[in-house]
Structures are given as C-alpha cells and as structure tokens.
Amino acid sequence: MKKKSVIEMGLIDNSIIHLILYIVLIIGVVLFCSISIYLFPTMVHFELSWKVVIRNAFFFSLMNPILTIILLLIAAIGLAIIYTYPAMIFIVGSPLAYMIYYMSQIFFNQVVMKKKME
C-alpha cells in the first residue's frame, strides 16, 4: 500500500504552499538586493576580504533599513529610466552610482565615528 503525501491527502492546499514559497522568494530577492546595493561602496571604502565585504554589506543593510530603502528606490528609479529609454544609461548610470556611494559613505563615516568613540 502506497503512502500518500500531505498534499495528496488534501491536508494542505497547493495554493498555500505556493504562497509560502512566494513569500520566501520575495524575502530572498529583497535581501539580495539590499546586500548588493552595499557591496560596491563597502569594497571601495574598506579594505577587506570578499567574505567580510559580503558579511558587512549584510549588516549595513540591516543596521539602517531606512537608508537601504532609499538606496533601493534610487536604484529602482534609475533602472526604470534606463529601461524606458535605453540610451539614458550613459546619462543616468554615473549619477546613480555617485548618489548611492555618497549616501553610503555618509553612513560608513557615522559607523566609523561610533566605533572610534567606543
């Protein structure tokens, strides 16, 4: 006699599993984007190994969620402009990177100052 899975028995609806997987996917994408937005500024500002850069980018994204949301919005607006008008990559790309790095550098300087005070 073959054992039936929980889904086959009808105890868990298939749409609930899809919803749970969708939520996990969205959290993963947001976390990936949050870490990615801090990777380049962290590599430029600090001289660290690759693993430490990724770890610090993760912690920076969690330490200041408001700045992370602002940086993600700036990147999204820039990417939307580039998607709408592809030739704008030459005009929007550099200021976009500058704004992201400048805002990150202000945050990094605050973190370094707090570390020196301790």
Q: Quick check: is 87 in a domain?
A: yes
Q: Quick check: is 6 in a domain?
A: no
| Cut 0.85: pTM above it | no
Over its length of 118 residues, how does the chain's per-residue pLDDT go in tens digits? 566 655 555 555 667 888 898 999 999 999 999 999 999 999 988 888 999 999 999 999 999 999 999 999 999 999 999 999 999 989 998 999 999 999 999 999 998 898 888 7
Domains of the chain: total: 1
Tokens of 104: 């990150």
Q: Quick check: is 61 in a domain?
A: yes
Q: Quick check: is 105 in a domain?
A: yes
Domain coverage including residue 95: 14-117
What is the rounded distance in angstroms from the CA atom of residue 101 to the CA atom of residue 99?
6
Q: Quick check: is 79 in a domain?
A: yes
